[in-house]
Amino acid sequence: MLTINVAVLLAVIVVWRLRRRTQARSRFDEKLTVVIVLALGVLIAPTSVGQGIQNILGELASGVTQASR
């Protein structure tokens, strides 16, 4: 039996949608892409991958704020 992780499926859909030309997108397409990306973020956030991304972004943000002082 083949199982597909919903987060992986959403990631593939996001990449597929973002490869389209910007001029070919309607307002509805842009809004749908934003909703899909938000759903992907909600699915990834509680996982260990999401926690790792959060830690990396936190360190990057603190490095930028320290560099600007």
**Cα–Cα distance for residue pair 47/25, rounded to 1 Å:** 32
Q: Which sequence spans correspond to the domains of the chain? A: 25-68
**Cα–Cα distance for residue pair 14/33, rounded to 1 Å:** 7
Predicted confidence pLDDT, tens digits, the chain (69 residues): 555 688 888 888 888 888 877 777 788 888 888 888 888 888 888 888 888 888 888 888 888 888 877
pTM strictly above 0.85: no
Tell me how crowded residue 44 is: count the other CB atoms within 10 A of its CB. 17
Residue type, 23: Q
Tell me how crowded residue 16 is: count the other CB atoms within 10 A of its CB. 9
- Identify which of 41, 68, 34 has the alpha carbon closest to the alpha carbon of residue 60: 68
Extract the tokens encoding 61: 């943000």
The pLDDT value given to residue 41: 84
